[in-house]
Structure 1
């Protein structure tokens, strides 16, 4: 049945359907029917005339740097780029910085991007200031987890230009909530983004930089069922000359990072990560502040050395642990009370004789707590040695020589009744003690030798080597010590 209706059209609308009028040789009714059919398709597939107009316009404007990709291939590419982020330089081709300058404009632009990708994503961004935000709260919902994280990376990359870094990400059901806060620099904000969204970014960068190296390494590890230990070249060199490495790292980054300023749990997690990935141990379990190391070694001598390495690393972070060893595990128990007591007694360094009141107080404390004193006395000494070095560096700089090392230790070597002398020649220091009132006091000797070792390792970053030839406490007529590699 044909219905006749009167419609009003302006010249603007007639111009828009001119191609249809030409097709139907001026038949306006036929042209209108074609237009209605096109609108019907648009509403069926795109939901609204506005969305259809946007998408059709986008398709017409595809440039050489754009492409239409079949959905299965696009989904595969999205999966393969999980935990990677799109760099800001790439995003600038999608979101023109000259056109997208404030948060609300970016919010609209990323919504349009989702529309173009046929994603039913609901995105909201709330900023405390649209032009110069110091905090932004973003929510993404309505799509699967891979797509939400992909969009989170895009949002995070854009907000780096405002030095906004991710403080928290919360995912619940189909909603991802992200909080951004002001950071000191864009670089710090970028590191937040890598930590939360792009944890594989640096890894993939290295894989692409040296593909043959990593292919070979992966083949070797796989063939050996990962029973391969990775060591830094410096530590391997120590093994070749019969020395026990003071660390377990594949690199020196953790050695440099360990300090008393690092939170305990962060130290333990970093130690676990490096110990397990370098395959030094089979597994390292963390229970609160205590550690259980499943070592997998048959030689108890090797296990004992491994225990010393772990204790040394923890001590570098100002942490005191006691230990128990079995054929299968090394159990390390945290001793926070000892740490507190040692920090308290370190206040005496440079103020009064550490071998007098401080030593007696620590000895009494350990006896009252029924804690074996030998190791903790050595730790106390090494902590004193490091403090002596740090104090000296504040006045004389961080470049060390044999003469400076001698001068630094001479300041704490003024023990009444001790007769000692130094001889520094090139990269070797020769230290002798001909008479010492502490020789018969085992605890004082532990502290004294600890001071020497702690200062040496701190000043020369573990590169110097200590050679003990004689000790009064062992029945020798004098103490004789050489320090090699200090030039």
Structure 2
């Protein structure tokens, strides 16, 4: 089909068509057809050339991986086994020395270096994970966010762990947030100051090493923990777990003084009670109560102006209930925040800042 169009063309383009015009005895239409044909062949050749380059790169990457396997630096592992290993070791921190086998701290010193190196290595290894970064500045940034996209989600988790540990130890960037989706993992970092290089930064421990301390303790005393877990399971967790001094105080009836409780609190938290908000105190108290296992359950509210703690227990002996109420009352008194306390046979309620609503708790009486 011939399509006829009137076209306008500058003289400069006519001059460029001169070789084609001479070839076609001045026939402009034929000259334009030849120019289009030549351009088409050139583009096709470029595509083929790019394809050959891509194929060559894939081949080089395959050779790179094979060489690592031949040199016993890497092993070929089925992805299902790898996923199982990652899931079963989730929450355990990777050893720092292992991270440095992948990333050389003497060569990779800037955020851009980290991103370029990891992306290059990912491509060579065929992991199909892409890393992007946003940062305040390339050298010693205050904030950084890394986005890991595509690839195997379990291996992406390990890669995120690697990068988080490297940035914490080498660039003083601790994890502030971690968000995971099926095809993307995003980590937010913020600069912090090392007080002790050997200690694990709080954010890194929270998001990647929450089970690390537990595992290390089990390794230290495996028989103790094995027997303890077995006993707890057999007795459906109906056991107490309290400090020996607390046990002695409860048995003797001589409950710890406020000064003793405050001292123990500072030893446990590293800060005096006044350094914490009421909401923080309530959450710390909840953790202590659940760990002690003296009661069976706890309900708390940390909404400002409506704070309360409700302890639920299974004890029916009046004297036991009174001792427990006094014991936990002393703990909450050490926080420095005023409260009222009411009890019934299986519940102790602490309401901060105001008296409890009698219509909400009709069976309770003030202790």
The alignment's TM-score, normalised by the length of structure 2, stands at: 0.71
Say whether 1:126 aligns with 2:144: no
Say whether 1:92 aligns with 2:110: no
In 2: Cα distance, 1:92 partner to 1:142 partner: 24
Partner of residue 191 from structure 2, selected from 175, 182, 199:
182
Residue in structure 2 matched with residue 326 of structure 1 by the alignment: 344
**Correspondences of 1:278-427 after superposition (within 5 Å):** 278-288=292-302, 289-335=307-353
Q: Which moved more, 1:171-180 or 1:300-309?
A: 171-180
The count of aligned residue pairs is: 293
Seen in structure 2, the aligned counterparts of structure 1 residues 182 and 311 have a Cα distance that, compared at 3 Å, is same
CA deviations over 1:89-121 (Å, ceiling 9, x no partner): 221112122232222222233334544664332
Partner of residue 280 from structure 2, selected from 250, 266, 290:
266
Seen in structure 2, the aligned counterparts of structure 1 residues 262 and 147 have a Cα distance that, compared at 3 Å, is farther
CA RMSD of aligned residues (A): 3.0
In 1: Cα distance, 2:261 partner to 2:66 partner: 57
Partner of residue 197 from structure 1, selected from 202, 208, 212:
208
Residue in structure 2 matched with residue 56 of structure 1 by the alignment: 63
In 2: Cα distance, 1:149 partner to 1:291 partner: 38
The offset of 1:190, in angstroms, is: 1.8
- Three-state SS of the structure 1 residue aligned to 2:273 is coil
**Contact persistence 2:177–2:188 (CA under 8 A):** yes
Residue in structure 2 matched with residue 233 of structure 1 by the alignment: 244
- Three-state SS of the structure 1 residue aligned to 2:225 is helix
For structure 2, which runs of at least 5 residues remain unmatched after alignment?
1-50, 356-365
**Contact persistence 2:61–2:125 (CA under 8 A):** no
CA deviations over 1:316-362 (Å, ceiling 9, x no partner): 1212221221122211111179xxxxxxxxxxxxxxxxxxxxxxxxx
CA deviations over 1:140-170 (Å, ceiling 9, x no partner): 2225654443222211101112111122333
In 1: Cα distance, 2:270 partner to 2:326 partner: 19
The offset of 1:242, in angstroms, is: 4.2
Residue in structure 2 matched with residue 411 of structure 1 by the alignment: none
- Three-state SS of the structure 2 residue aligned to 1:86 is coil
In 1: Cα distance, 2:346 partner to 2:75 partner: 58
Structure possessing the higher relative contact order (Cα contacts under 8 Å, 6 or more residues apart): 2
**Contact persistence 1:136–1:181 (CA under 8 A):** yes
Say whether 1:166 aligns with 2:171: no
The offset of 1:269, in angstroms, is: 1.6
For structure 1, which runs of at least 5 residues remain unmatched after alignment?
1-42, 338-373, 376-487
The alignment's TM-score, normalised by the length of structure 1, stands at: 0.54
